[in-house]
Amino acid sequence: MNKERSTWLSFYYFKEIYELGSYQFQTDARVYSVFEPRRLNITQFYRNRMWEGTLQREFSSKVFGVFNVRRNKVEQLEDYAYQFENGEILSSYYITEGTLALRISPRTDFITLDDGRIEYFDGLPKISAQVTQAFKNVWQGDFGYTKFGLKFDYYIKRQNLSSSQVLLEGSWILGDAPLTHLMHAYPNSPTKDEILQRFSIAGRRSFETMYFGEFFSSKLATLQLKHSLRRFYLSDTFQPELVFITRHAIGGLDNPERHLGIPFNTLDHLYNETGVELNRILFGFGLSFAYRYGAYYLPDFEDNISFKFTFYLKL
């Protein structure tokens, strides 16, 4: 719309399947990122036809904003329905939403391309804030709620070539929201009995020991800490990287009895997992190990263990 001032106006129509409980920050779509392998493991979806109008604005080299309006027509692929307080039950429904999102990168320099922004220096934390309002009875909207999101992403690269990352996220919903539009903590463990049956690809920011569909929340906070050692130079072609990771989540769900058909738990207590990755062992592939402990430790020891492979593409 105004290329000199970095303003874009876009209109979209989507007819796709989406993951239950997936919460995305709208400003992330404008920033180049490595593919999230977790998407290959997802098991719970819903069908959505979405009409969207989006206005994006680069206020300065450090501040980026998004405003969009969406009309969603949701149809279930799972056995799910939502029961309102008055007893009305819906399995298919319309959701009309407006979202305002802001991303602040105080000391991040970047290159802007036509299809997104590629960041090449990280200094102070990147902060993302977002508020979404669902309008009942507007364009046939069946739900009315307000959703808040806040993300704090701090990446430190040291002169000795080690690095650390702190990722803190929080989200909160006020009002009636169906399971499709609640939040999860990005689980990445298939619902299989044996460890090797769950062997799959590890994600970048996912909870590797948390099972798909295990927890849903209307309020959720997660903390992920990652420390990468300098890569071991064993030869020109063999330079593995050792990474230590710890992840924590806590949340809750208002009126869980209104969600019918799909059994799940709520994160009323602190969820904990700790793991280690040995990346780039061969052709970008590595191994990941994680252990689940604390309030949600499972009775069978093997169910608390995740063993997966990793993949990091060298650009």
CATH of 7-311 given 3.90.320, 2.40.160, 2.60.60, 2.40.128: 2.40.160
Distance CA 145, CA 99 (A): 12
Distance CA 125, CA 120 (A): 14
Range scoring the smallest mean pLDDT among 31-40, 132-141, 151-160? 31-40
The ranges assigned to domains in the chain are 7-311
Average the pLDDT over 223-238 and give the result.
92
Helix (H, G, I), strand (E, B) or coil at 158: coil
Within 13 Å and on the Cβ side, how many CA atoms surround 23? 33
Higher per-residue pLDDT: 116 or 223 = 223
What local confidence, expressed as pLDDT, does residue 130 receive?
Answer: 98
What local confidence, expressed as pLDDT, does residue 246 receive?
Answer: 98
With the C-alpha atoms ordered 227, 230, 231, 234, is the resulting torsion angle positive or negative? negative
Does the pLDDT of residue 114 top 60, yes or no? no
Q: What is the model's pTM?
A: 0.89
Alpha helices of the chain — where are they, by DSSP H? none
Higher per-residue pLDDT: 55 or 193 = 55
